[in-house]
Amino acid sequence: MFVQHYSHEEAIMPKITIDEEKCIGCGECVDVCPADVLEMQDDKAVVVNEDECLECESCVETCEQDAITLEVD
Ligand code: SF4
Ligand code: SF4
């Protein structure tokens, strides 16, 4: 029997998540991101360019609301 384990065929991508419940729309993360991954939309930060993320964690450290999570597989 074949058992499907986790596939690693896809490129390893960082996963940035912004909790819009926590985000107060200060824009700090957008300003600090060196790769233009984040953008303000309707007074909330959103991820628009995840592929460009450098995993620098600047946004995570900058966000005083702990709204941003960076997961690296
Ligand atoms: S730094 Fe945090 S609170 Fe400010 S816009 Fe970004 S996610 Fe929202
Ligand atoms: S980890 Fe760095 S490159 Fe990625 S979204 Fe945050 S600030 Fe931008």
Number of domains in the chain: 1
Question: What pLDDT was estimated at residue 65?
Answer: 98
Residue 44: name the closest of 57, 26, 59, 25 by CA: 25
Q: What is the residue-level pLDDT of the chain in tens, covering all 73 positions?
A: 666 555 555 666 789 999 999 999 999 999 999 999 999 999 999 999 999 999 999 999 999 999 999 998 7
Would you say residue 49 lies in a domain? yes
Question: What pLDDT was estimated at residue 23?
Answer: 98
Q: Which domain holds residue 62?
A: 17-72
- What CATH number should be reported for the domain holding residue 55? 3.30.70.20
CA angle 49, 50, 51 (to 5 degrees): 90
For residue 36, the CA-to-ligand 1 centroid distance in Å is: 14
For residue 22, the CA-to-ligand 2 centroid distance in Å is: 18
Question: What pLDDT was estimated at residue 66?
Answer: 98
Cα–Cα distance measured from residue 73 to residue 62, given in angstroms and rounded to the nearest whole number: 22
Would you say residue 11 lies in a domain? no
Question: What pLDDT was estimated at residue 3?
Answer: 61
For residue 8, the CA-to-ligand 2 centroid distance in Å is: 23
Quick one: which ligand is closest to 30's CA? Answer: 1
